[in-house]
Amino acid sequence: MTKLNAYIFNDREELFQQLELDILEKLREGISARGKASMLLSGGTTPGPLYEKLSKRNFDWDKVWFSLTDERWVDQDHPQSNEKLIRDTLVKNEAKVARLIGLKSAEDDVLVGQDATEIKLYEFPLPSDVVLLGMGEDGHIASLFPGLKDTKTAMDLSNKKLCQAIVREAGEIPRISMTLRAILDTKHIFLLFFGAKKKEVFERARKIKNPILPVSFLLHQDSVPISLYFAD
């Protein structure tokens, strides 16, 4: 069973202050051990304040590699691009010298571009020192949404790929996600989410491993410790 530490906070500011310190500690350990550190970053608005804090920290950012847990298949300057979010909130100020490997490649079709992204990711140091993940109210992590054929492929641990194209319903922007194997190829996972609804989903996922709740695949493995950071 997963080694899980749950940290419950009264307010989000207190949470972000502690999470910042804990992430920096893990990155520092990586640099000490191998001269560099790496971290997979979650997109979305939830971790934005954390990234702003980290960007202002005096740290050995020139020894840190970042990539993303997932991405919408849009250009890097698109408003919905996670890479743009990371550049706007984290890879600036003191952290502007950190290295960021985006997941969007030049091809317009995600099914074609997936291979180019895979090759780009060979530069990313694995195992990573930290993976920061959010969770949706449907139990998805990264872009591993329940009920999709692509999600099933991405969560198959016999799949040795680092990334997987995720094609959703017509009209929805295709995505690319790190596979479950790549997500678990880390020393520590930080799981960050807010709100009672998500807490209820999380508690259901803790009880049983179920493809309907992709987060449950994190919670029912014994290779990587997980730290939960939660506030209402």
Domain harbouring 151, CATH code = 3.40.50.1360
Closest CA to 48 of 101, 11, 99, 86: 86
**Four-CA torsion 149, 133, 163, 89, nearest 10 degrees:** 130
Q: Classify 179 in phi/psi space as left (phi over 0), alpha (psi -120 to 50) or beta.
A: beta
Can you give the pTM of this predicted structure? 0.97
**Helical spans, DSSP H, in 35-189:** 48-55, 82-89, 110-120, 149-154, 180-184
Q: Do the strands 130-133 and 37-41 form a parallel or antiparallel pair, or are they unpaired?
A: parallel
- In this model, does residue 27 exceed pLDDT 80? yes
CA pair distance 215, 206, nearest whole angstrom = 9
Kindly list the strands in the beta sheet with 163-166, ordered across the sheet, starting from the edge strand earlier in the chain.
Answer: 70-72, 175-178, 163-166
Residue 125 burial class via C-beta count within 10 angstroms: exposed 0-12, middle 13-18, buried 19 and up: middle
Number of domain units in the chain? 1
DSSP state of 149: H
Residue recorded with tokens 């998805």: 140
Q: What is the pLDDT of residue 2?
A: 78
Q: ∠ CA 154-124-223 to the nearest 5 degrees? A: 55
190 and 23 Cβ atoms separated by less than 8 Å: yes
Give the pLDDT confidence score for residue 10 in this predicted structure: 93
Residue 83 vs residues 19, 74, 207: alpha-carbon distances, Å: 21, 10, 34
Domain that holds residue 156: 4-231
Percent of the chain clearing pLDDT 90 (strictly above): 96
Work out the number of other CB atoms within 10 angstroms of the CB of residue 58. Answer: 8
What DSSP designation does 63 have? Answer: G
- At residue 1, the pLDDT reads 63
pLDDT in tens, 43-56: 999 999 999 999 99
pLDDT tens-digit readout, 82-129:
999 999 999 999 999 999 999 999 999 999 999 999 999 999 999 999
**pLDDT digits over 125-175, tens only?**
999 999 999 999 999 999 999 999 999 999 999 999 999 999 988 889 999
**At residue 45, what is the residue type?**
T
| Structure tokens given for 224 | 């990587």
